[in-house]
Structure 1
């Protein structure tokens, strides 16, 4: 099953088979989704070997947790990418304790959200998770103001919490939260037409 051909139904079927102990299904899930999982980890960690380690850990976790998966809590790809994000950020923070890590931002990349939950903005965060390679998303990000784009890059791409962004930029925490909220609201307005048409 090629990554581009894997639908949510395909992935759901694989997860159900994994839950019943089907090792071949785990291999098929890896083949269909590993590129995206690795991409999320790489954007946060900026290191191939660390990203590969996180990727393998994600699929080990899938093997262990497949029986607990509930589609109501998120589509299969979102579930995988959130695991990748969580493990990559944990790895990133562990490394930061031992050495000073300079965060290098890639303007045209898109990663995963590291934001406090917001009921009204969960849809756009979900979209960014599932459409991380999309030209429409990248173009929408480029329409943000420089300040808004900077905080989105630091949280989505750098894996920082709001407080860490505030410390990094030497601005109040409330300023960071306000910029993130305005940025996500702007992105929602820009992307809603494409979402309604099913392009994302």
Structure 2
């Protein structure tokens, strides 16, 4: 007597298996399961670039709609890395579109870094340019410089800055959440701001100083 093996549920499949089955069968439920696995990271990346949260949430939905078509046509070998790059590029396109629209569409470009890689970091005034493509390229360079600067900070400094400036925690709350004493917290905040400013000023494509960390 032969028993037919039941198909695996989406939750039982690896990312690679879900991608393959989606390309073969086109079942959006498989793609939904795959996207849900990485949804927290996707939203964190969107919030890094886009505010308010409603704009980041809109980007999350737009990205899923794009994946429905992209992943049916393209073979992806490393989904987490590919998704990270796709999300980042989408957010940069949103910023570029806003920049081309001019001050009426939002004025200054504000960049936020709420996840483990960083924190709310900087804003720079919209620069008027006759060449929109060149202006957008400069914006992307600044964003990359900010990310690199934040990644260079020691863990203690980065975490204290994140809690104090982004999550609006007081000194005592930061100390409780990190395990540092108040003297350490104040030292990390002071040194973190100084190091971030120094790193940004050393990069020719970055803003001169991080807004919100004065």
Aligned to 2:90: 87
Structure 1 residue 59, shift from structure 2 partner: 1.6
* 8 Å contact kept, 1:18–1:63: no
Unpaired runs of 5+ residues, structure 1, are 1-5, 117-124, 155-161, 171-200
Matched position secondary structure for 2:117: coil
Structure 1 residue 23, shift from structure 2 partner: 1.5
Aligned to 1:77: 80
Distance 1:52 1:147, change over 3 A: same
* 8 Å contact kept, 1:58–1:80: no
Backbone CA RMSD of aligned residues: 4.0
Structure 1 residue 99, shift from structure 2 partner: 2.7
Aligned to 1:146: 196
Unpaired runs of 5+ residues, structure 2, are 1-10, 119-139, 143-147, 159-190, 210-214
Structure 1 residue 83, shift from structure 2 partner: 1.0
Cα deviation digits, residues 91-138 of structure 1 (max 9, x gap):
122223333125365587526xx569xxxxxxxx9xx9xxx9xxxx97
Matched position secondary structure for 1:103: strand
The reply to whether residue 169 of structure 1 matches residue 208 of structure 2 is: yes
Aligned to 1:100: 107
Q: Which has the higher contact order (CA 8 A, sep 6+)?
A: 1
Cα deviation digits, residues 9-67 of structure 1 (max 9, x gap):
81111111222201110110122111111110111112212111211222222211113
Aligned to 1:177: none
Aligned with residue 35 of structure 2, among 22, 30, 42: 30
Q: What is the distance in 2 between the residues matched to 1:69 and 1:23?
A: 16
- Alignment length (residue pairs): 131
Structure 1 residue 86, shift from structure 2 partner: 0.7
The reply to whether residue 19 of structure 1 matches residue 23 of structure 2 is: yes
TM-score by length of 2: 0.48
